[in-house]
Amino acid sequence: MRNFGVVLEEMANVKPTLIQSYPMIGGDGPHSYLRNSTYQKAAIESVRAKIKETILAKLGLKTTKLDLNTYKIADFGCSVGSNTLDVIQNIIETLKLKHQQEETKGNNHEHLEFHVFFNDQTDNDFNTLFKTLPRYHLDREIFACGVPGSFYRRLFPRNSLHIGHTSNTLVWLSTTPEDVCNRNSQAWNKNSILCTNLVEQVTEAYRNQFKKDMRAFIAARAQELVPGGLMIILGLCLPDGVQMIRTWKGVVYDMIRDCLIDMAKSGIIKEEKVESFKLPIYFPQFSELKEVIEQNGCFSIEVMEEVKHPMEDMPFTDGFIISMFRAMLHGFIEEHFGGGVVDELFDRFGKKSTRDRSIYSRASQKDMQYFILLKKKIDRS
């Protein structure tokens, strides 16, 4: 077995690429992420009990680093709104319960304190996030702060966090693979704005970037978490053999590109701008995700399983889809095409979707939601 310290040192040398940063729409307006993240909220709620169950079962209070009364918790990719707050509240309530259960073993739950870190990109709307914090942070039991920066890099001191969490974030790459934007490359993604899994060279470029980013994410968390600390990951991927273009999300992205092409033909935007618009989004195959997770030498994999999204089989209205994707993509679209394009784009999307409902018949396959719990190994050498 390889030495734990050597593995950790190797992982620390993983070098991330230049980070692209286009956060969700801030504020609390009608198009904000705060008001249009119901789908993500449902995913988080679906694993609420599982998070509680796994913390109670897997967090060992008697290990040296965890026998304490102050816990440091981080939510990576927090964005804005109640989703991140619900997660943190669930973790804190579970830690209190854990201490209550362990009281007879000498742990005292009455004086617990929690240092909570909300992380996202530097241009995330932290102001709105902290305006929506519940009053619990005023009772001097919970101390909250914002930590700007990409989670594909280290954000905290070594061995400082007890629990990390991230949800609905790791399909966002640190950057769009360079080759998919290069006309002279075999991986030039001419006919789509993200990876559809139809062209192997394009898929390979996105896959390589995903693996690089995922290794960087794990490397950073391996340094930040205390021995015995937990990393909770909720995310989306594809079952092996499923193509992104055949899922309903893939169909939506394809329709967005069609609308951009129509806008170029109308002279509203330039055709070359449409051709160069590529999103840093990649839904990995489950086997690809599993491979990267299993390659780490610093965590034990306590749980890795599929969990059903509660809205998986629900029919969505055009308005619901438009609101969700607009909140997510507004920053990317405006940065690339300039102001005034977003309204026109999603107006056309709504009309196109209403006019041709058969488009959704292409969505013959499903993506999947996964839940992963990692526990940092304790170096006993």
- Distance, in Å, from the CA atom of 155 to the CA atom of 161, rounded to the nearest integer, reads 11
Cβ atoms of 69 and 111 closer than 8 Å: yes
Match 């999307």 to its residue by tokens.
349
Measured between alpha carbons, how far is residue 316 from residues 311, 321, 356 in Å? 9, 7, 15
pTM: 0.91
Q: What is the pLDDT of residue 72?
A: 96
pLDDT (0 to 100) of residue 136: 56
Cα–Cα dist 231/306, whole Å: 17
pLDDT, position 139 = 62
Domains and CATH numbers, the chain: 4-241+279-313+364-376 (3.40.50.150)
Q: Give me 15's structure tokens.
A: 């070098």
pLDDT at 362: 77
pLDDT attached to residue 343: 94
pLDDT in tens, 288-321: 999 999 998 899 999 999 999 999 888 888 899 9
Positions of E strands within the chain: 70-76, 113-120, 142-148, 161-167, 225-237, 299-307, 368-376
Q: Residue ranges of the chain with pLDDT lower than 50?
A: 1-2, 4, 6-8, 10-12, 14-18, 64
Structure confidence at residue 12 (pLDDT): 47
